[in-house]
Amino acid sequence: MEAAETIACPYCGQHFELVIDTATPHQRFTTDCEVCCRPLEVTVECEIGEILSLDIAAG
């Protein structure tokens, strides 16, 4: 099951939606900002269908 969260890019400050597959309880991955294309380090803690914590850092 997926859940969406609106995040702010630490580089450009723009907001965009990030979709997370909540089937995996602990996740860490890199994605690019949809606006400025710079890398973001994402750390997520989930339960099925719910995002418990989400941390975004400059990659």
- Note whether 31 and 42 are within 8 A (CB): yes
Provide the terminal-to-terminal Cα distance of the chain, rounded to the nearest Å. Answer: 26
Each residue of 7-48: pLDDT tens digit?
999 999 999 999 999 999 999 999 999 999 999 999 999 999
Model-level pTM?
0.87
59: pLDDT strictly greater than 90: no
- Percentage, residues of the chain above pLDDT 90: 98
Mean pLDDT across the chain, nearest whole number?
A: 96
Q: Could you give the dihedral angle defined by the CA atoms of residues 36, 55, 7 and 26, in that order, rounded to the nearest 10 degrees?
A: 110
